[in-house]
Amino acid sequence: MAPARDGPPAAAGDLSASAIVPYERWRARLDELIARYRGATPYPHVVLDDFVAPDVATCAATEFPAPDSGEWIQYVHVNERKLGRNDPAAIPAVHRAVIAELHSPGFVEFLSTLTGIPGLFADDSLEGGGLHQSTRGGFLNVHSDFNSHPHHPTWRRRLNLLLYLNPGWEESWGGQLELWDSDVQTRVKRVAPLFNRAVVFDTTGDAFHGHPEPLACPDGVTRKSIALYYFTEESAPVRVRSTEYRARPGEGLWGLAIYLDTMVLRAYDRVKRRFGLNDRFASVLLKRLSRR
């Protein structure tokens, strides 16, 4: 079921489709954006500043739930330390409205034209996506994403969209999205998680990315984003590739910990797919593993 389009807070104004995404502006630049996306290295991607209407972005940042507000899934293990929230009932109305628009047929058609990927559709279950938040010390090691939906074997994951909601973010705090080459030997690009900036990128097996350095933001400041994933329907079940974490050059023994944690997570992914488990179960399990 798609996220509900309940009425947003008054600060957001009228959250109609045209009020959320400035389609006229983005479509006027479509030829330029297509060239940038498809010609980008180390894999197709594009950075879109001032992505949604300014008042909507401001409301979404202001209404973002605090880390101690409950309902957060704890992604805490060797390879990441962040919070996630994908239950529509626990997501504020303004974020549900933004997600609903970014899942709409019109926006998905825009993404399909931009990327050249036909047959795209959104994941209304927000598996692994939704609201993401990291506090001081949070990180996400370099990885390539899982390639098929855990509960829909014929859904191939094709595209990520990340919308950052961090007013006043300073470079010294870290948190830049890093894009790495296919061998994880060279960092090709860094993208600061600036307010109302979106990043769209392919999720092939060698699309390695992350923000591996622990955040140095002040206490009380968090790295906030909306993460959405898009799929295509295949004629047969997709051969499963779990999230693949990789060590960076020079990480030494830490690289062994990254590898061992990846093996544990790969085993859990098989169990999750076999028994239809959800991320809330994973949250409890990962918290226990992190203590060990």
Position 5 in a domain: no
pLDDT at 276: 72
The answer, yes or no, to whether residue 286 has pLDDT greater than 70, is no
Position 79 in a domain: yes
Residues 6+ apart with CB under 8 A from 88: 3, 4, 96, 126
Length of the chain: 292
CATH code: domain of residue 31: 2.60.120.620
The answer, yes or no, to whether residue 4 has pLDDT greater than 60, is no
Position 140 in a domain: yes
174 CB neighbour count, 10 Å cutoff: 21
pTM, to two decimals:
0.90
CA 41 to CA 262: how far, in whole Å?
26
The structural domain count of the chain equals 1
Q: How confident is the model at residue 135 (pLDDT cuts 50, 70, 90)?
A: very high
Position 3 in a domain: no
The string over 29-51, giving b where at least 16 C-beta atoms fall within 10 Å of a residue's C-beta and e elsewhere, is: eeeebeebbeebebbbbbbbeeb
Mean pLDDT throughout 189-202? 98
pLDDT in tens, 228-245: 999 999 999 999 989 999
Q: How confident is the model at residue 10 (pLDDT cuts 50, 70, 90)?
A: very low
Mean pLDDT throughout 118-137? 97
Helix axes 54-62, 93-102, angle to 10 degrees: 130
pLDDT at 8: 35
The string over 103-112, giving b where at least 16 C-beta atoms fall within 10 Å of a residue's C-beta and e elsewhere, is: bbeebbebbb
- Mean of per-residue pLDDT scores for the chain: 90
Q: How confident is the model at residue 179 (pLDDT cuts 50, 70, 90)?
A: very high
pLDDT at 265: 86
The answer, yes or no, to whether residue 1 has pLDDT greater than 60, is no
pLDDT at 290: 52
User: Between residues 6 and 53, which one has the greater pLDDT?
Assistant: 53
* 58 alpha carbon, distance to own chain's centre: 19
Position 4 in a domain: no
Mean pLDDT throughout 262-277? 82
pLDDT in tens, 56-93: 999 999 999 999 998 899 999 999 999 999 999 999 99
CB half-sphere exposure, 20, CA atoms < 13 A = 20
Q: How confident is the model at residue 105 (pLDDT cuts 50, 70, 90)?
A: very high
- Give me the domain span that covers residue 265: 10-291
Q: Are 163 and 198 in contact (CB under 8 A)?
A: yes
